[in-house]
Chain A
């Protein structure tokens, strides 16, 4: 029954493709149907334009809204030393003037339609998103197509936006203890891979960008064949494709340069460092080298992190925060990067305690999970928490679009959110112990202690 239904869907979409292509003005504007992908009880439909643009559509009429997300396969991993932060600066510049839209018009047109818009950049990707009333979706099509090919990059715009980004950096990093610590952690843990520099960029690099740097970056990476548009909401698919064919069809594809990434060499010795900051509480960051998002071990490591750090009933929360009252906070995160990243363990000591007191408790927990199997109750608890978290990410059209775009861009699998939940369900206690033994290896870890300093003492880093 399901197969016949998919087959009808496919036939219908082939008819739509013929109808759209009959009006296409160039080969780049021709659309091809790439098939359906189950997404929970719904379906993602994959389309391609002749110029290489991928379009993923999930029709969801539960609310009169449309989420329109444009994901580019470019992030800070594509930068080079001396030019860090360019991908993120560029994200800001994309809201500026285009050949057909004056400064501020992009935002103004969207606001006038009641739409919300923003963007984000990280190590592997950059994405731009709009949330519109359903009857306004064509505005997003036009505006996104316009700025994919006709952005104006001149000195005044670049200079002003560099200043905004410098202020963003002060806010998120320089005046934020956790921001500085995170930056230092990755700078120390990675010595070859671009994950060693921050996505927002080093301040001196931000201040040094020229319009020429930005123009070269735009020409290289902002091409339809380096992008995926994800549309989720109360939209008529054929009408959407027709509008996209017309708006994007004339944008030429580009030759995207092959990545020039140096894989991180295995870490053979533990790295330790200290950071002094004006803070009331010491912090201890322990980060092991972790699996890539596409690695089969990633789901298991995520589950391990839940057992140790997820919620008040987790092992380390119980020990550090509840029973021994050494910490005010403890949390873990397995980085969701395309290449192997970190398993970060963040801990904040209580005012009367030190980071040094936390270390042996963490070490004991790591040793225990390497040697003993977790209980059925712990496994069930962690799985239920992860299932809840997965469902919460799919509550809105924007949430679905983000999940689809993220997994498509990083793994080429738009429905991976559901495969991941299945993977969590399959994890056994033995699996958890196996990944603990594989990844919780002392020689691959970096330990950063953040210590309070008197305000008069010089700020700095000591290794």
Chain B
């Protein structure tokens, strides 16, 4: 058993005016300051038909505030040596920013003003909607993005986790100023905010900066999580997303994984790492190293407040698509039937424990772990006791987690490729296939 110990993840936490929460992780390694302003709600709260609202509303904060036009805000951000982006997931939408340390005060002034006094000009709303629609259309050039979107909306069909955080062309066009105002008034309030600051700022100064950011906002109430646990549709389903002239395919095979609070969550993380989480994993060895069929081959277990997907990814040439899908399904069945060995578990424990140093080697990384605990409702010691949890997993527990959670008969396979070329071989490669369908690549 490894004697490597976890670095204690203990960023300072402050209640701001008894409402918003601030998480601070100072470090003077480099003269940069990172700041995150995150909401305790994300795309899962988007109303039906208005998917993309959470992301759009937060992006609108830089499109005008009292006394500043969008152009002036953009210039100020740049000239201060800062950058800012909005990141959206099912459970949170957040502003992520970074600034050269000498301009910290000026940048926080600007950010506080953007948060407290947005003007939501009509012309800017219409402009950002047109931009967003253009981005959605442009993203269709990426087969990987097309595959991921198709998987998300099909795996979580009818569930808020099926919302694409950026929305669809139709849903974005349906969003109006009143929707954005309502979102802002309801969700951009102190009680619904978590502020994170990391980097070259002193522990004495950081709380005041965090206070300053939220001071202009009403207290409000935190957004309740009303998302139900998602369920997996039974049976094996194949969805081919048809795109012309593909020499290659993007293959995603998915089922439901775990919630981070499930007892068998960490055991499944280990078992998944054995199966498809490293370069020497079973999947990589069989698909890439032995056969050269795909540049990459991996499996991932999603992490969110509720159960997320378990997804396996390969991207073989069109002529190998059927054989590759067949092989990966066989590997999956073997994994579930036989579990993982003691030797594999021991190996992956050493990997996960020793590589933990890279999860916490910068202040922004340590901050993001603390933010994830708060925003994804992870157990409070999810990261701080990570090494102990990993070391505690037995081969039996890892095997049991795979058998309990991964259902080989309840699988969704999504393939982006040229249907006329790959459809028959794909259908033939999935035993006990319940249904197969083909949709064009621009369907949303």
Knowing A103-B289, A113-B354, the reply to whether A381 touches B245 (Cβ < 8 A) is no
Stretch of B70-78, B152-160, B177-185, B400-408 lying at the A interface: B70-78
A350 within 8 A of B: yes
Within 8 A of B (CB), among A176-193: 176-178
Chain A 155-175 residues near chain B, CB threshold 8 A: 159-168, 170-171, 174-175
Does B232 interact with chain A (Cβ within 8 Å)? no
Question: Which residues of B lie under 8 Å from residue A176 when comparing CB positions?
Answer: 141-143
Residue of A with least CB distance to B365: A396
For B32, give its contact among A64, A175, A395 (CB under 8 Å). Answer: A395
Q: Mark A97-127, 1 if CB is under 8 A from B, else 0.
A: 0000001100110011111110000000000
A160 and B127 in contact, given A170-B317, A171-B248, A381-B78 (Cβ under 8 angstroms): no
Query: Chain A contacts of B293 at CB under 8 A?
Result: 163, 167
Residues in chain A near residue B357, CB distance under 8 A: 63-65, 114, 133-134
Q: How far is the CB of B368 from chain A (nearest CB, A)?
A: 13
Residue contact A108 to B280, C-beta cutoff 8 Å? yes
- Check if A11 is an interface residue, CB within 8 A of chain B: no
Which single member of B79, B83, B350 contacts A112 (CB below 8 Å)? B350
A window 26-79: CB within 8 A of B: 62-65
Return the CB mask of A323-334 against B: 1 if under 8 Å, else 0: 001001100000
Q: How far is the CB of B247 from chain A (nearest CB, A)?
A: 5
Taking a contact as CB atoms closer than 8 A, the residue among A131, A322, A385 that contacts B78 in the complex is A385
User: B132-154 toward A: CB 8 Å interface, digit per residue (1/0)?
Assistant: 00110110111100000000000
A104-B289, A164-B288, A167-B295 given as contacts; is B130 within 8 A of A325 (CB)?
Answer: yes
- B81 contacts the other chain (Cβ, under 8 Å)? yes
Instruction: Report if B225 contacts A (CB, 8 A).
Output: no
The answer to whether A328 and B134 touch (CB under 8 A), given A114-B353, A385-B81, is yes
| A259-267, A294-302, A310-318, A430-438 - the one binding chain B | A310-318
Complex contacts, A152 vs chain B, CB 8 Å: none
CA distance A63 to B351 in the complex (A): 18
Closest to A96 in B: B289
Complex interface: chain A residues within 8 A of B80 (CB)? 384
B351 touches A394 (CB 8 A): no
Q: How far is the CA of A136 from the CA of B293 in the complex (A)?
A: 33
Interface size class of A (residues with CB under 8 A): 35 or more
B315 on the interface (CB 8 Å rule)? yes
Q: Which residues of A contact B127 (CB under 8 A)?
A: 322, 325
B243 touches A (CB below 8 Å): yes
List, in ascending order, chain A residues with CB within 8 A of B75's CB. 313, 377, 381
Chain A residues with Cβ under 8 A from B292's Cβ? Answer: 159-164, 166-167
User: Which residues of chain A have C-beta atoms less than 8 A from B141's C-beta?
Assistant: 176-178, 279-281
Q: Does A278 contact B (CB under 8 A)?
A: yes
A112 B351 Cβ-Cβ under 8 A: yes
Q: Which of B79, B137, B278, B358 has the most CB of A within 10 A?
A: B358
B279 at the interface (CB under 8 A from A): yes
Q: How far is the CA of A160 from the CA of B293 in the complex (A)?
A: 9
Interface centre among A65, A116, A313, A455 (most CB of B within 10 A): A313
The complex places the Cα of A402 from the Cα of B56 at a distance, in Å, of: 36
| Nearest neighbor of B28 in chain A, beta-carbon distance | A62
> Which of A350, A380, A391, A455 makes the CB contact (< 8 A) with B134?
A350
Q: Encode B236-268 as 1/0 by CB contact (under 8 A) with A.
A: 000000011111100000000000000000000
Q: Which residues of B contact A (CB under 8 A)?
A: 4, 27, 29-32, 70-71, 74-75, 77-83, 98-100, 127, 130-131, 134-135, 137-138, 140-143, 243-248, 278-280, 285, 288-295, 315-317, 347, 350-358, 360-362, 364, 442
In addition to A63-B361, A170-B248, A351-B134, 7 A-B residue pairs with Cβ atoms within 8 Å of each other are A133-B357, A160-B292, A171-B248, A281-B141, A310-B78, A391-B31, A395-B362
A-B contact pairs, 19 of them (CB 8 A): A63-B357, A64-B361, A65-B358, A103-B289, A107-B279, A167-B315, A176-B141, A280-B137, A310-B78, A311-B83, A312-B74, A313-B75, A328-B131, A328-B135, A329-B138, A384-B100, A388-B99, A391-B30, A397-B361
Residues of chain A touching chain B, judged by Cβ–Cβ distance below 8 Å, are 62-65, 103-104, 107-108, 111-117, 131, 133-134, 136, 159-168, 170-171, 174-178, 277-281, 310-313, 318, 321-322, 325, 328-329, 348, 350-351, 377, 380-381, 384-385, 387-388, 391-392, 394-397, 455, 459
